[in-house]
Structure 1
Amino acid sequence: MAQIRKGGPRQYQARGRIKGYPEVVRTFSSRSEAVQWAAQRERLMLQGLGDTLQEADKLTLGNALIRYSQEITPFKKSASSERNRINVWLHNSLASLPLSAIRGKHLAEYRDSRILASIGGNTIRLELAVISHLYEVARKDWGLEHLVNPTKNIRKPKLPRGRTRRLYGGEETALLRWCVQNGNLRLRSIIIIAIETAMRRGELVGLKWGDVNLPSRMVYLDDTKNGESRTVPLSSRAVDALESITSINDILTIASTSGTFKPARNKEESVFSMHADTISANFSKARKGCGIEGLTFHDLRHEATSRLFEKGFNMIEVATITGHKSMQMLKRYTHLRPSDLLERLG
C-alpha cells in the first residue's frame, strides 16, 4: 500500500509499495495529488500492469524522444524542424525524468519559462505538440497504455495574430527591377510565380518540369504541406515567368553525334534548381537592396491570396488554388485593402 508523508513546504511524498516490485517515490505539491497518484498506481498494479508501470518508470523522456526521433520523425514532412524541437527538449531538465513522472505541472512550468524567454506562442505550441504525440505513440505503439498525456492538462499559449503584411506602393516593381539589375532572373521568375499562384516556398522548390503543363496552363503539386495534392491554374503572367525560366538556360541542345535536337529539360529536373533557404536568402538580399522593411517571402502568399479575392473569386475557389484546408486559416491569410472595396460599395 502507498504511504503519504509530509515533506517541506507544499511537498507531499507518496511511496508506492507492491510486493514483487521496487518501491517508487514521487513528490507532489498537494496531498490530494499524492493520494490520487498512489491510488491510480495501486489500481493499475492490481490489474496486472506492474511490468508496464516498471517500464515507464525506467524510460526517461530523453530516451523516449531519441527513440521517437528514430522511429517516427523521419516519416514526417517537417522532420528537420521536429528534430530541432526534440533537441530543445533533450537539453531541458525534464529529459531526465521518467515518462510516468511528468505531469501537466511540469509542462506548464516549461511553457511559462519559454514565454519569459520571449519565445513565440506558436513555437511553444509546436514544442508541446512533440511531447503530446510522443505520449500517444508510447501509449498506442510501445505498450505503455496506462500513460496519461500530460499536455492535455495545461493551457496552451495564445497564437499570435496572423501577419497582415502585403506589398505596398511600388515594392513589387522595385523587387523585380532589382532582380534584373543584379542578374538574378531566376529569383524574378520565382517572385512572379509566387504572387500569381500563392504557392508555398516548399512547393516551388519541389516543382519539376514534369509537373508543369504550359499548353494547358496547369501545374500539378503532388507533395504539399497539408499532405494533399492539388492542381494550380496559371495566369498568363505566371506562364510567361515559367517560359522565361527555359530561356535562362538553353532549351535545346544539339546532339554531337546525330545532329538532331534534344530537349535539355527532363521531367524529373527541378524547375528552379534552388534550395528553399537559398530562395529566402536571395529574397532577403533583394528586399534589403530595395530598402523594403518587414517583408518576408511567405508574405507573397498573403499577397497572392488577397489578390485572388480582389479578382472576385469566392472562398471555395480560392481554397482550390491555394490549398488551404480551413476557411478560418484562409481568412487569416487574406487581407483586403478597404480602398479596393469602395467601387463595389458605390
Structure 2
Amino acid sequence: VRHLRTCHIDFNNRLILFTDTKNGDDRYVPMTDTIYGELKEFLKVRNIASDYIFQNPSGRLVYLDELHKAACKNVGIEDFTIHDWRHNAGSHLAMSGATERESAEILGHKSLIMVKRYSHLSNKHNAKILSQMNSLIFNAKVH
C-alpha cells in the first residue's frame, strides 16, 4: 500500500492495482463504496503533486504502520497490527458467507490453506449457526 500510486487506481471500474505484493503477483482488488468515496475525497484535498498516494507534504513516503499505531493508540487499542487486519478481513469474509475461493481471490492467497489460516469464526457467529441448526432439528415438521 505504501507504494500505491494514482495510476494504480481505476475509479471507472472501482479497482486498485497492487504491484508490490508479498507473493510477487500484481493483482486488482475491488473498491468498496466506502474506499471509493474516501479515496476520491482524499485525492481531492491532499494537495501534493506526486503520483504516490501516501506521501507527506515534504515528499517522504508515509509508513502506514506508524499511522496505524498512532490511530490505535488514540482510540485505546493495544497490540493490534496492520497485519491483524488481514485476519480480521478473512474472518469477516468467512462469517459473511464468502466461499474459500472468493476469500482467496480478495485476500490474494494462492492456496485455500492460507484462507483457512486467516479465517477465524467468532463465538457469536458459531452460536448463531448452532441456533439455526437447532431450529432446523427441533422445529422441523414431519409429514
TM-score range, shorter chain: 0.7 to 0.9
SS of 1:225's equivalent? coil
Larger Rg belongs to: 1
Matched residue count: 127
Q: Does 1:273 align with 2:70?
A: no
SS of 2:17's equivalent? strand
TM-aligned CA deviation for residue 265 of structure 1 = 6.4
Q: Does 1:217 align with 2:2?
A: no
Q: 1:245 aligns with which of 27, 30, 42?
A: 42
SS of 2:54's equivalent? coil
TM-score by length of 2: 0.76
TM-aligned CA deviation for residue 212 of structure 1 = 0.7
Q: Which amino acid aligns with 1:208?
A: R
For residues 88-145 of structure 1, give each alpha carbon's deviation from its aligned partner in whole angstroms, at most 9, with x where no partner exists.
xxxxxxxxxxxxxxxxxxxxxxxxxxxxxxxxxxxxxxxxxxxxxxxxxxxxxxxxxx
Which structure 2 segments of 5+ residues have no match?
133-143
SS of 1:205's equivalent? coil
Residue in 1 that maps onto 2:118: 333
Instruction: Give the conservation status (yes or no) of the 8 Å contact 1:209–1:265.
Output: no
Identity across the alignment (%): 31
4+ runs of 1 displaced by more than 6 Å? none
TM-aligned CA deviation for residue 322 of structure 1 = 1.0
Distance 1:339 1:209, change over 3 A: same
Q: Which amino acid aligns with 1:221?
A: F
Which structure 1 segments of 5+ residues have no match?
1-203, 251-263
Question: RMSD of the TM alignment (CA)?
Answer: 2.2
Which of structures 1 and 2 has the larger relative contact order (alpha carbons within 8 angstroms, sep 6+)?
Answer: 2
Q: Does 1:316 align with 2:101?
A: yes
Matches of 1:304 and 1:311, distance apart in 2? 10
Q: Where do residues 182-331 of structure 1 align in structure 2 (5 Å cutoff)? A: 204-250=1-47, 269-273=51-55, 275=61, 278-331=63-116
TM-score by length of 1: 0.34
Residue in 2 that maps onto 1:199: none
Matches of 1:321 and 1:246, distance apart in 2? 24
